[in-house]
Structure 1
Amino acid sequence: MAMTSIDDLPVTPSDEPGAGSSPAEIRPRGVLGKLPRYAAGKPPVVVEGLESFKLSSNENPLPPLPAVLESIASETSINRYPDPLTTALRTELAGYLGVPATDIVTGAGSLGALNQILATFAGQNDFDAPDEVVYAWRSFEAYPISVGLAGAAGVQVPVRADGTHDLEAMAAAITDRTRVVLLCTPNNPTGPILTRREVVDFLAEVPPHVVVVIDEAYQEFVRRPDAVNGIALYREHPNVIVLRTFSKAHGLAGLRVGYSVSQQALTEHLRVSAVPFAVSQIAEHAAVTSLRHIGEVEARVQSIVDERIRVVEGLRSLGWTVPEAEGNFVWLALGEHSEDFAAKAGERALSVRPFGSEGVRVSIGEEAANTRFLELCRGYTHRPVSEGRGLK
């Protein structure tokens, strides 16, 4: 008997797309409806007669080094896949950090590296309640999104009134279901660091099977001598993973290069969940070149730190209460006035980052931008009276 092709069948109204009864609605995973949306910093509005400045995304206001731009321009092999192990970058980082290259796992920015960690150690297990991930709040706004997408349950512990982690409360929040703890230092968006002493004491309270991630995206901007250094701690603690990035100090945010550092007992698992080819050859060459010119990078970072100090001192001279600032940004606990302040900044061609009714984060930008920001604050009547007002 001759076979009949589907193309030979008559078309009835019910066969046509969209005709007849409605098809079942395609729904995403239920967790998506429970997650907050990531809100990237908006570009500044154009105001006639004023140069616009973006202070909303904690970006480095300076372009990459000239040598880095040259390395990008000379890369012609983008028709080929990159090295999946990013061998050149890990080798360069190993020498710079004084760690084995095998302890380094790269990712698409520190957020990509974090997602690999969560995919490896926390999620929804078969027939069990979801694993828990403990982190301070408010902190990096991608944390609840990444934790939720991994299938884990986030446990948010409020930061103190001065914007610092409440490590005692975080230790108390650890349960039998806890698999990962996230420590952000300096804390984004509030600004303070964690000290080595308090993190060492905290680790003594954490069960050894719980992974502790020390997120150091802004580490190069830190100047407090007692600040924790994750690289020093990971050598002493097998459950510590350090996150770092080339987005901030190196000015490579658009190329997405980050990495984690941990002992082999953890990296052997992280390599399984690592996204293949996450770091392009252009990004890898740029990061390697930047590391080979680290003195120039450090000089640029110091110029931003100098501006940060000027901004903080300027705010405090105006009577503004500002938390400790050790990243490339400052936090204004403006509470219900946050959106209004952001709007006033927009009228002056400055984009800043409001967080609902909690506060406003302002990145350290170009000198002219920082000066205009201080001028705005000088005339703004609703000043922060408490470092942590509105933090939830």
Structure 2
Amino acid sequence: MSAPSSTGPADPMARPGPPEDDRRDPGPPPARPEITALPDYSSARAGSVPITIRASSNEAPFGPGALVVDAVTERLRSAHRYPELGAVTLTRAIAEQLGLDPDQVVAADGSLSLLNYLLISHCRPGSTVVHPWRSYEAYPICIRTAHAEPRAVANLPDGSHDLAAMAAAIGPDTAAVILCSPNNPTGAGLSHDAVAAFLAEVPPSVLVVLDQAYVDFVTDPQAVRGLELLPAHPNLVLLRTLSKAYGLAGLRIGHLLAHPQLCRAVRKIVPPFAVSALAETAALAALVDLPHRDRIVTAVIDQRGPVTELLRRHGLPVVPSEANFVWLPLGDRAAEFGARCADAGLGTRVFDGEGVRISLGEPDLPTRLSSIVSGLPEVS
């Protein structure tokens, strides 16, 4: 008697597989088409020599102050413990400094993350979000991440927002409008009266997000005062950060200021420990160390005028800036000038076909820029 087959009887319901030669690795499941189509976030370009002055990311020119270093070093001893849930202590400290109720504040890992959470909580498939352009390159990425469609509105020739055109772009499917003042990367700011008038035109069902990442560097007395507008406009949201004037870019701390109902919605989807223990500790110390913040702000403002004058003297267009950077709308010459800077060890942010953004504050920046533009003819 022959031995029974080790494979057992054939399964009558089994379907034959493809021939061995036709089996191919299908790879992982594909991402949403609108995500794969998104552009990569830009970065500084390398030159023929190492970058020795980093003027590409709008960072503070100095490291954190002694209060922050000491506090973070001490907290590091208990890094095996999770941070405080919801960054409650930091939220209260920010609210106290700004004269708000803690229910009007949400802290997280950067203001960009908070924009993501805000749009995810309020956009639906088919929603549109109106935003300025050229502006922060992450806006279209955040909008599409939230299943919405971006509606870009071109800036005015002076680099500021065309608020009339943005208001006209609002439609029945608009979930939000994003404003950026001072605008990144042009540095142009919006006036208080202009934003107040704009808010009066926007339907109350549409969010108005005012990104104020660079508010600490504003010197224009007519600039928008976002906090004053919050009480009368429940649809207004302010975004701020400790990355710039407080010198904590590497720790990622931002906050959202809005009506308590909006804040509750955002908190529901913010990860439980969005602010790390070290980041919260650093932020609490930085909020107390205002002299260090003032040192950073002063270094930027003191440099802004002379750098603008230097560049203009050599025939380069510069938009008047209220931020910690200057914008050169060079158009087709942007890549060439950015390469010239990189070859001199100066890192800048180049937007091909549009312009070059140069961050301010590094002590050696004016001298390096002077040597870079020295070969260009001066304009009287």
Q: TM-score scaled to structure 2, two decimals?
A: 0.90
The residue matched to 2:152 in structure 1 has which SS? strand
Higher mean alpha-carbon deviation, 364-373 vs 66-75, is at 364-373
**2:38 touches 2:141 (CA, 8 Å); kept in 1?**
yes
Q: Is the 8 A contact 1:131 1:153 kept in 2?
A: yes
SS across alignment from 1:340? helix
Contact kept, 8 Å, 1:43 with 1:54, in 2: the verdict is no
Query: Aligned to 1:85, what secondary structure does the other structure show?
Result: helix
Count residues in correspondence: 362
Q: Does the alignment pair 1:377 with 2:373?
A: yes
User: Following superposition of structure 1 onto structure 2, how do residues 113-192 of structure 1 map, counting pairs within 5 Å?
Assistant: 113-124=114-125, 130-192=126-188
One-letter amino acid of the structure 2 residue matched with residue 229 of structure 1: R
Report the CA distance between 1:365 and its aligned residue: 3.5
Gaps of 5+ in 1: 5-13, 125-129, 384-392
| CA gap 1:309/1:247 in 2 versus in 1, 3 angstroms | same
The structure number with the bigger radius of gyration is 2
Matched residues in 2 for 1:101 and 1:275: separation? 18
Query: What's the CA shift string for 1:226-272, capped at 9, x where partnerless?
Result: 10021221122100000000110011001000010001121121111
Residue of structure 2 equivalent to 1:55: 55
Equivalent pair of 1:110/1:259 in contact (CA under 8 Å): yes
* Equivalent residue number for residue 81 of structure 1: 82
Between 255-264 and 319-328, the greater mean CA deviation after superposition: 319-328
Q: Is 1:222 aligned to 2:218, yes or no?
A: yes
Question: Deviation per CA, 1:175-210, whole angstroms, max 9, x where unpaired?
Answer: 000011100010000111011000001011100010
Contact 1:45 1:52 in 2 (8 A): no
Q: Which residue does 1:268 correspond to in 2?
A: 264
Q: Distance in 1 between matches of 2:377 and 2:176?
A: 42
Give the TM-score normalised by structure 1.
0.88
Greater alpha carbon shift after TM alignment, 25-34 vs 54-63: 25-34
Superposed, which structure 2 residues align to 1:323-338 within 5 Å? Answer: 323-338=319-334
Distance 1:255 1:168, change over 3 A: same
Conserved 8 A contact 2:241-2:253: yes
Deviation at 1:295, TM superposition (A): 2.8
How far 1:303 moved relative to its partner?
1.7
Q: Which amino acid aligns with 2:72?
A: I
Decide whether the 8 Å contact of 2:84 with 2:277 is kept in 1. yes
Q: Secondary structure, in 3 states, of the residue corresponding to 1:105?
A: strand
- CA RMSD in angstroms comes to 2.2
Q: Separation in 1 of the partners of 2:316 and 2:336?
A: 17
1:315 and 1:189 map into 2 onto residues whose CA distance is 17
Q: Distance in 1 between matches of 2:106 and 2:367?
A: 40
Does residue 1:251 correspond to 2:253, yes or no?
Answer: no
Q: What amino acid is aligned across from residue 21 of structure 1 in structure 2?
A: R
Cα offset, 1:381, TM superposition: 6.2
- The DSSP-based 3-state class of the residue aligned with 2:103 is helix
Which deviates more, 318-327 or 213-222? 318-327
Distance in 2, matches of 1:181 and 1:206, equals 9
Work out the CA distance in 1 between the residues paired with 2:208 and 2:374. Answer: 41
Structure 1 vs Structure 2: percent identity of aligned residues?
40
What do residues 312-370 of structure 1 show as CA deviations (whole Å, max 9, x unaligned)? 12223334331111111000111111111111111111111110111101111422123
- Distance, in Å, in 2 between the alignment partners of 1:197 and 1:282 is 39
User: Separation in 2 of the partners of 1:43 and 1:107?
Assistant: 32
